[in-house]
Structure 1
Amino acid sequence: MADTLQSSTSGGARQAEANPVTRFFRATEIDTRLLGMVGALLIIWVGFHIMTGGLFLTPRNLWNLSVQTASVAVMATGMVLVIVTRNIDLSVGSILGFSGMIMGVLQAQMLPQLMGFNHPATWIVALAGGLLVGAAIGALHGSIIAFLNVPSFIVTLGGLLVWRGATWFVTSGQTVAPMNASFRLMGGGTEGSIGATASWVVGALACMAIVVAIINARQQRKRFHFPRRPLWAEYFLCVLSCAIVMGAIFVANSYYWPVNIARKYAEANNIPWPETGLFIPHGIAIPVLMAIAVGIVMTFIATRLRFGRYVFAIGGNPEAAELAGIKTRWVTVKIFTLMGVLCAIAAAISTARLNAATNAQGELDELYTIAAAVIGGTSLAGGTGTIAGAMLGALVMQSLQSGMVLLGIDTPFQRIVVGVVLVMAVWLDTIYRARAK
């Protein structure tokens, strides 16, 4: 009894003696690793802003940056589950290219003959066809890995070559364009954004959802007698999260339509042209909303569903998961099927943004996707990773690429930088895991 009392007292003393920063992070439960990534992202942004003479941190560039990040961010959410189970998928870029080509051929060549031009269901059928193709390819890869015991590295490396070649054979290397008008909305642009009012509504709903989620989490902790954060920490997280959301909305609404497009819009709608010009905010781009929606769904799958628990259990100890009754092979098939679907969603975003399906579409995206997941904290040793971290990692990767483009750096050197960043991320992950033991 005396030993227990002494241990409890010493533990309380250690907590009391902790410095204010340590007590703050303990109270708010903020992931310090994720916070470090945010800090690195801010350093990258400020550095590029200075080096580009004030061009980087502008509403226009940040808006374009969010759109450019969307497709890789979508695939990175699936790559987290793949890597968590100690697998790898090198074929995501080729699956994106093949799925995008299928969607392009459907809406530009096949469906107009069957349904007529500009049919309202064209984009739906084309998107559904691409999703089915992506899911089928992912299921094929997963089945070979799970039931034939071929390493995922070899299967997906073969897939990288096979589906890139198949993309060429679909149209003999020809570019397919243009895309359906409704389909193009998924690519962003002036029409592919929701405007200022709808953006503020989305921001308000997001803030409400954040507050409800924090309240619900607190009630669940109370229900199961888990430790709860101090009330000031809950208020701080609510305010911080809502401020970030509203700040992002403000930046999106600060980027206006180009003058020529705004003038054409005014003429088409009989709107008098003001002397100071017509300022029409873009608002949030549709591909960004798609990426956020995918991130929310994937987070729910990874943290709230039994399937997600199985994924992390397999990554932590495959043998123990098998002995516990988890059907590890079918889980593997489902993971790669899901990865294929996400590649098709990314293909829809990429194809719509380009307004064309090309043979080179998605090249090297596997590198950026894997790098985004690893930079976001997903361990190549398996068992560890977060969806939010991977999406933030995608933003870091795209920020590096966007900044180097603004600086006029050649593409070969850009790839060198990406390769160095990937190696450093794996090295830092190794150090982090060694210290955590």
Structure 2
Amino acid sequence: MTTAVETPGAARPQGARGLIDALEIDTRLLAMAAALVVIWVGLDLLTGGIFLTARNLWNLSVQTSVVGIMATGMVLVIVARHIDLSVGSVLGFVGMAMAVLQVEILPIGTSWNWLLSLVLGLVLGAAIGAFQGWWVAYRAVPAFIVTLGGLLIFRGLAWWITEGRTVAPMDPNFQLLGGGLDGSIGEFWSWVVGVLFIAAVVIKAFRTRQRRNRYNFPVRPLWAEALVLVVSVAVIVGFVQVMNSYYRPRTQIPQGIPIPVLILIVVAVGMSALTKVTKFGRYVFAIGGNPEAAELGGINVRKVTVMIFVMMGVLSAIAGAIQTARLNAGLNSTGSLLELSVIAAAVIGGTSLSGGVGTIAGAILGALIMQSLQSGMILLNISTPMQPVVIGLVLISAVWLDTVYQRRRR
């Protein structure tokens, strides 16, 4: 029988540094969470208490879903030392393609119309990703150039396939993907989802501790384990409560968790599992750390690179479906400049532009920070032309902070 080995000095942490070490908290994630709290409190004060209302937080969660979904894929792209500037245009093009399929090509009024258009849209997103990945991996064209070309190509195609027309309306079932009045799961099912996540957090903590005990690895002290669990459960309960505190107009019926947010949660969990427990995830980080060594180690770098871009294309298609459903129309301008927010979310979330470093959780937090700033600027009546200026400044600051952090690590 093995005995758990606790981290030396963890039972009595010395100061903040000792507490963080005992809790095994990622300092970057902790700093981002603290920054998010400061931003929320500041915006709430500046907007006279409007920002932290249940209504605004519910809308903020829906807005974050589109950027967050694509940011999870952007993490892998940047970790592998590439970049994808085309995600906003791919979102717009695929969203428009799904709208055209649904409204003008597939039989209207059938129960499977919206579903088939969604599936075909995801296939189109994967094909676009494979096309761009092939140029990067097998023709050695820098990803910056390929995806810059993709930004122009797919934005033009979004206009070309309809000659600038707006295509609407979408199927009522398809509209649910965008949230809205009916696009949420209600109070009861929201609590069911919350309980399931709490159970998953507890089981994961128990199994992780059990596995460390089995191999005689250091484990958190019990007080630290309990504190992490309490905070995690509190966050889940608080999130569900906020989602249920927003009622449908002129009723007392809670909206619950929006469907786009559920999609984001599923994507985030799936991408986290992909990066942590699969060979593919390990290969991506190995390539980002040292591409030459990864090649010599037997990793098919070209194949993995193509798969990264295919995944990015599929995630852009999912985000395109959500955005099109939310607008209830295919618009030529959908997704314009969204690549800035996606890249900024990944970088703010701790993904290093030098490659090899990044987390899915950090990208979600980064997306939440970006959308919080966007929402706050709207509530503060900051002019539309100035909003990209703020986003650009935030992106530059994030890259600068990453450079400073990487320099200090050396």
TM-score by length of 1: 0.91
Paired residues for 1:384-399 under 5 Å: 384-399=357-372
Structure 2 residue corresponding to 1:85, chosen from 65, 68, 80: 80
Aligned to 2:299: 326
Aligned to 1:309: 282
Aligned to 1:274: none
Alpha-carbon deviations, 1:84-125, whole Å to 9, x = none?
A: 01100000001001100111011111112xxxx332211210
Structure 1 residue corresponding to 2:115, chosen from 88, 109, 124: 124
Structure 1 residue corresponding to 2:33, chosen from 27, 32, 38: 38
Structure 2 residue corresponding to 1:28, chosen from 23, 47, 52: 23
Q: How far apart, CA to CA, are the structure 1 residues paired with 2:395 and 2:350? A: 12
8 A Cα contact 2:13 2:19, kept in partner: no
- The residue type paired with residue 281 of structure 2 is G
Q: How far apart, CA to CA, are the structure 1 residues paired with 2:256 and 2:382? A: 30
| Gap change, CA 1:218 and 1:420, over 3 Å in 2 | same
Runs of 4+ in structure 1 deviating by more than 6 angstroms, as ranges, are 15-18
Describe the SS at the equivalent of 2:385: helix
Aligned to 2:399: 426
Q: How far apart, CA to CA, are the structure 1 residues paired with 2:31 and 2:274? A: 25
Q: How far apart, CA to CA, are the structure 1 residues paired with 2:136 and 2:178? A: 33
Q: How far apart, CA to CA, are the structure 2 residues paired with 1:240 and 1:18? A: 18
Structure 2 residue corresponding to 1:95, chosen from 62, 66, 90: 90
Aligned to 2:269: 296
Q: How far apart, CA to CA, are the structure 2 residues paired with 1:72 and 1:385? A: 16
8 A Cα contact 2:13 2:22, kept in partner: no
Q: How far apart, CA to CA, are the structure 2 residues paired with 1:17 and 1:306? A: 38
Q: How far apart, CA to CA, are the structure 1 residues paired with 2:332 and 2:388? A: 20
Q: How far apart, CA to CA, are the structure 2 residues paired with 1:410 and 1:19? A: 48
Offset of residue 301 of structure 1: 0.5
Q: How far apart, CA to CA, are the structure 1 residues paired with 2:117 and 2:217? A: 48
Aligned to 1:57: 52
8 A Cα contact 2:89 2:155, kept in partner: yes
Aligned to 1:382: 355
Alpha-carbon deviations, 1:298-346, whole Å to 9, x = none?
A: 0011111000000000000011001101000000000000000000000
- The residue type paired with residue 227 of structure 2 is F
Aligned to 2:162: 171
Q: How far apart, CA to CA, are the structure 2 residues paired with 1:16 and 1:233? A: 9
Q: How far apart, CA to CA, are the structure 2 residues paired with 1:217 and 1:131? A: 35
Alpha-carbon deviations, 1:380-412, whole Å to 9, x = none?
A: 000000001001100100000000000000011
Q: How far apart, CA to CA, are the structure 1 residues paired with 2:200 and 2:12? A: 36
- The residue type paired with residue 419 of structure 1 is G
- The residue type paired with residue 82 of structure 2 is N
Q: How far apart, CA to CA, are the structure 2 residues paired with 1:134 and 1:101? A: 12
| Gap change, CA 1:16 and 1:286, over 3 Å in 2 | closer
Structure 2 residue corresponding to 1:281, chosen from 232, 254, 277: 254
Q: How far apart, CA to CA, are the structure 2 residues paired with 1:118 and 1:128? A: 17
Structure 2 residue corresponding to 1:186, chosen from 174, 177, 180: 177
Q: Is the counterpart of residue 136 in structure 1 residue 131 in structure 2?
A: no
Q: How far apart, CA to CA, are the structure 2 residues paired with 1:436 and 1:31? A: 14
Offset of residue 22 of structure 1: 1.9
Alpha-carbon deviations, 1:138-193, whole Å to 9, x = none?
A: 00000010000000000000000001101111100101100011110000012000
For structure 2, list consecutive stretches of 5 or more residues without a partner in the other structure.
Answer: 1-6
Q: How far apart, CA to CA, are the structure 1 residues paired with 2:24 and 2:179? A: 35
- Say how many residue pairs are matched: 404
8 A Cα contact 2:138 2:302, kept in partner: yes
Q: How far apart, CA to CA, are the structure 2 residues paired with 1:225 and 1:19? A: 25
Q: How far apart, CA to CA, are the structure 2 residues paired with 1:230 and 1:192? A: 43
Describe the SS at the equivalent of 2:218: coil
- The residue type paired with residue 345 of structure 2 is A
Q: Is the counterpart of residue 403 in structure 1 residue 376 in structure 2?
A: yes
Describe the SS at the equivalent of 2:19: helix
Q: Which has the larger radius of gyration?
A: 1
Aligned to 1:104: 99
Q: How far apart, CA to CA, are the structure 1 residues paired with 2:287 and 2:72? A: 18
Percent of aligned pairs sharing the same letter? 59
- The residue type paired with residue 249 of structure 2 is P
Structure 1 residue corresponding to 2:320, chosen from 321, 326, 347: 347
Q: How far apart, CA to CA, are the structure 2 residues paired with 1:240 and 1:312? A: 29
Structure 1 residue corresponding to 2:339, chosen from 363, 366, 378: 366
TM-score by length of 2: 0.97
Offset of residue 20 of structure 1: 2.8
Describe the SS at the equivalent of 2:106: helix
Aligned to 1:435: 408
Q: How far apart, CA to CA, are the structure 2 residues paired with 1:118 and 1:242? A: 43
Q: How far apart, CA to CA, are the structure 1 residues paired with 2:253 and 2:193? A: 18
Q: How far apart, CA to CA, are the structure 1 residues paired with 2:96 and 2:319? A: 12
Offset of residue 431 of structure 1: 0.9
Aligned to 1:275: none
Q: CA RMSD in A?
A: 1.3
Q: How far apart, CA to CA, are the structure 1 residues paired with 2:202 and 2:8? A: 31
Aligned to 2:385: 412
Describe the SS at the equivalent of 1:395: helix
Offset of residue 250 of structure 1: 0.5
Q: How far apart, CA to CA, are the structure 1 residues paired with 2:216 and 2:141? A: 46
